Structure 1
Amino acid sequence: MPSTEELLKRLGVTIDPETLRLALTHRSYAYEHGGIPTNERLEFLGDSVLGYAVTDHLYKNYPDLPEGDLAKRRSAVVSTRALAGIARSLGVGEFILLGQGEILTNGKDKSSILADTMESLIGATFLNNGVEVARDMVMRLILPLLHDVDVLGAGTDWKTAIQEVAAAQKMGSIEYRVMGSGPDHARSYVAILHIGGNPYGQGTGPSKKEAEQEAAAETWKMVRPQDDSAKAN
């Protein structure tokens, strides 16, 4: 595992070693080490800081958007999928302290764990540096997503979005065909989304659910309504 100094460099902030270790301590690791504190309280704090920073930015920079559209954009960029994507781009997974069970099931790449850890890192940044530094970090990480039509198009629920588009365009029934491989302790899945009997997007993940969501997200890029790019700009 590389030094946590490398993680701080990627985040562009300073966090004291004790708080940083806490932010990276998953409950599975804490349970195996005598019930030490976990990052869940920092996650709770970071979720609030994240929501505030994104809401403030949207309110000030999109004065003509109605409440419903503002809420949709916020939910899209603070979703588990969006935060997990940011965490993967920063290589956060390799720094998370996990229990053996999560290690064996590739917990370092699970979207839920990655997203929760990003929130705890935001909370740790707030504790050590105050709201402005934390907000600046959030904006550096989130702003590119606010200009990503594929993120904004479907919000947080790709499978529902695909169902709506398939129904509206009369494309036919939806079916996810999922295949698993690898040993039980390190299972991985590949999902292919078929609509009307035709294959569309493919997704992979450590669980069937994540593989299906990834397949739905990839399919969205192929079938999304053509006016979405105009709405997102």
Structure 2
Amino acid sequence: MTDQQANSERLQRALGYQFADKSLLQLALTHRSVGGRNNERLEFLGDSIVNHIIAEALYRQFPDAREGDMSRMRASLVKGDTLAEVARELDLGEHLLLGPGERKSGGKRRGSILADGLEAVAGAILIDSDVAACRNCVLTWFRERLDLLSLDGADKDAKTLLQEYLQGRRSPLPEYELLGVVGEDHEQQFYVACRIAKPVLVVEGDGSSRRKAEQAAARTALARLETHGKSE
């Protein structure tokens, strides 16, 4: 197996889907900076199907929710920042195909490119299979975020609370770095660092997924900041 094939297999395991037509996956990962044949059409399709799947999930999960409530929750899940977060958790950036200029400017880490790539992958899964298979994948990618939602928004996750805490004090947003992954595929433990520039603070967190590790680190950082604020 070549390195390219191994990388493709690793990504497909992370996505939770094996492509029958591998060229669709390659097309979904190809940014427009590469040339005329790129992922923009798949992104267009993926944007629609992700919105549909999330809307349907919210409709079923919150039978008493009003239209406005569901619109608010859907917007929080399908906005670019959230899509980029999901893409990072899937390590999608390392598999994107970019033109020389985008590669040099750090395109694999750019939120808009990651978000577009994730939507393109969802579109590719839809074309390669059907709505049911695409739904299974998208709901798996968003499951933890869906589980954290509530109608009153009172139980915001730690990362959101930390971001709001820092924004309220005009401080730079936190940065998260994956430090390592330990264990077999079915029983992995992720270790993440959360770095804050002002006030200077570095904490670590761990969990059974990258998102859970980031949440754990954010909870620790928030607790430290709140304790520090009370002592001032």
Into which bin does the TM-score normalised by the smaller protein fall? 0.5 to 0.7
Q: Which residue of 2 aligns with 1:59?
A: 59
Residues 72, 152 of structure 1: 8 Å contact kept: no
Which structure's relative contact order is higher, taking Cα pairs within 8 Å and 6+ residues apart? 1
Task: Mark the runs of 5 or more structure 1 residues left unpaired by the alignment.
Answer: 167-172, 178-189, 194-198, 203-217, 224-233
- Pair 1:151–1:101, CA change in 2 (3 A): farther
Q: Which residue of 2 aligns with 1:214?
A: none
Q: Which residue of 1 aligns with 2:97?
A: 97
Distance 2:100 2:68 in 1: 43
Q: Are 1:3 and 2:4 counterparts?
A: no
Q: Which residue of 2 aligns with 1:140?
A: 140
**1:147 CA displacement:** 2.9
- Pair 1:143–1:151, CA change in 2 (3 A): farther
Q: Which residue of 2 aligns with 1:209?
A: none
Q: How many equivalent pairs are there?
A: 174
**1:174 CA displacement:** 4.0
Distance 1:80 1:96 in 2: 17
Q: Which residue of 2 aligns with 1:121?
A: 121
Q: Which residue of 2 aligns with 1:23?
A: 28
State the SS of the aligned residue for 2:18. Answer: coil
Residues 81, 115 of structure 1: 8 Å contact kept: yes
Work out the percentage of aligned pairs sharing the same amino acid: 36
Q: TM-score, normalised by structure 2?
A: 0.65
1:1-233 map, 5 Å: 2-15=6-19, 16-30=21-35, 35=36, 37-148=37-148, 149-150=156-157, 166=168, 174=170, 199=199, 222=222
Query: What is the letter of the counterpart of residue 150 of structure 1?
Result: D
Distance 1:201 1:48 in 2: 40
Task: Mark the runs of 5 or more structure 2 residues left unpaired by the alignment.
Answer: 149-155, 174-194, 203-217, 224-232
Residues 87, 93 of structure 2: 8 Å contact kept: yes
Residues 172, 197 of structure 2: 8 Å contact kept: yes
**1:55 CA displacement:** 0.4
